[in-house]
Amino acid sequence: MMVLKHCVLLPKLLIAFNMKNIAVIGAGTMGNGIAHTFAQSGFKVSLIDISEASLKRGMETISKNLDRMVAKEKISESDKTETLSNISTYTSIPEGVKNVELVVEAATENIDLKLNIFKQLDEACVEDTILATNTSSISITQIAAVTSRPEKVIGMHFMNPVPIMKLVEIIRGYNTSDKVTKTIMSLSETLGKAPVEVNDYPGFVANRILMPMLNESIETLYNGVAGVNEIDTVMKLGMAHPMGPLQLADFIGLDVCLSILNVMYDGFKNPKYAPCPLLVNMVRAGKLGIKSGEGFYDYSESRKAEKVASQFSK
């Protein structure tokens, strides 16, 4: 059986970082992927969510994704058992973050909710704990400002699906220290990821470039220039994109795309980031993409959604 290379390297690196216990807040799409990735690299992970149902769903997803890796002979059956045994679940933040060296927050994208979580984390965590957020668009500097340790607050923006995608966008807030940035960059490498350091401005780098392209694809559809399949085919076959932009928007979630565009529109005060009226209407109508069963494509049969997801993860 093939065992992931970074698992073998890890014990030495763990000692270097003095990091062994981490907490992940939120067991949704991103949170369970982040917990999976750390646990597979040998970290003890506290997975925390306010919802018992989310924790159960999150653990089921991790187990299914590990099964897929076993079937592909990327990990062994005992790697799977060990990974699962590295994860404990909690519904209370203070209980789950006791004695952790790092917290990665991946709760719902909502500014008030995140500020509230970071206030709680600041109170519950020991002084040295680094507080990271997986936010797609909210200012790291603003989140850091509600804590007493802004130099230890940083963005750790994983991509979906986390166990497969290599990139981690590491976002330095205005006050994030060099030491914390270096630690998180090196830590990301030990997870087998490729970290890239960027500064804290709306959309960071990934979404600042991606979202205008997705928005323009929606605008192209709205203007009647071409249909959904035609737009996606042009970008897939003409630009070698693995997934068409409208399909990708469905995969990310149209509500998430709208919220990121609004953050950039407000943050830069530039009309080039204004969300297309069709996107706004679809979100108002509850057409959010794969997660709601319908977006630019129809995912009413669960099989179809899975097919799209597996196509993306190849």
Ligand X SMILES: NC(=O)c1ccc[n+]([C@@H]2O[C@H](COP(=O)([O-])OP(=O)(O)OC[C@H]3O[C@@H](n4cnc5c(N)ncnc54)[C@H](O)[C@@H]3O)[C@@H](O)[C@H]2O)c1
Distance CA(52)–CA(34), nearest Å, equals 18
Q: Which stretch binds ligand X (CB under 6 A): 68-76, 80-88, 197-205, 248-256?
A: 248-256
Binding mask 249-268 for ligand X (x = CB under 6 A): ---xx--x------------
Report, in Å, the least distance between residue 27 CB and ligand X. 5
Q: Is 169 a catalytic residue?
A: yes
Rounded Cα–Cα distance for residues 90 and 23 (Å): 10
Using CB under 6 A, which of the segments 47-55, 193-201, 225-233, 272-280 binds ligand X?
47-55
Q: Please give the DSSP secondary-structure letter assigned to residue 257.
A: H
Residues in contact with ligand X, counted by CB under 6 A, come to a total of 26
207 tagged catalytic: yes
Q: Is 288 in the site for ligand X (CB under 6 A)?
A: no
Residue from 157, 188, 217, 294 carrying the catalytic annotation: 157
Least Å distance, CB 248 to ligand X, is 10
* Beta carbon of residue 257, minimum distance to ligand X (angstroms, whole number): 10
Task: Please report, for residues 1, 3, 70, 81, 85, the alpha-carbon distance to residue 78 in angstroms, rounded to integers and kept in the order given.
Answer: 11, 10, 9, 5, 10
Given 32, 41, 46, 136, the catalytic residue: 136
Residue 142 near ligand X by CB under 6 A: no
The DSSP bridge partners found for residue 298 are 294
* Interface positions, 89-108, toward ligand X (CB under 6 A): 106-108
Whether 188 contacts 156, CB under 8 Å:
yes
Known binding-site residue numbers: 26-31, 49, 109, 114, 136, 160, 291
Within 8 A by CB and 6+ apart from 89, the residues are: 27, 46, 47, 48, 49, 55, 58, 59
- Contact flag: residue 47 with ligand X (CB under 6 A): no
Q: β-strands 21-25, 194-199: how paired? A: unpaired
Q: Per the annotation, where are the binding residues for NAD(+)?
A: 26-31, 49, 109, 114, 136, 160, 291
Q: Return phi, psi of residue 86, to 5°.
A: -80, -10
Selected from 113, 165, 196, 243, the binder of ligand X by CB under 6 A is: 113
Would you say 106 and 114 are in contact if contact means Cβ atoms under 8 Å apart? no
Distance in angstroms (rounded) separating the CA atoms of residues 217 and 225? 10
Residue type, 190: T
**Are 219 and 272 within 8 A, CB to CB?**
no
Site string (23-42) toward ligand X, x via CB under 6 A: --xxxxxxx-----------
Q: Is 51 in the site for ligand X (CB under 6 A)?
A: yes
State which residue, 42 or 173, has the beta carbon closest to ligand X. Answer: 173
Q: Which is nearer to ligand X, 22 or 107 (CB)?
A: 107
Query: Is residue 37 within 8 Å of 191, Cβ to Cβ?
Result: yes
Nearer of residues 27 and 75 to ligand X, judged by Cβ: 27
Span near ligand X by CB under 6 A; candidates 20-28, 70-78, 188-196, 300-308: 20-28
Task: Specify whether 76 is catalytic.
Answer: no
The yes-or-no answer on residue 6 being catalytic is no
**Sheet-wide strand order for 167-172:** 87-90, 44-48, 21-25, 102-105, 130-133, 153-158, 167-172, 194-199
Query: Given the rule CB under 6 A, which residues bind ligand X?
Result: 25-31, 48-51, 54, 106-109, 113, 117, 134-136, 157, 160, 252-253, 256
Active site residues: 136, 157, 169, 207
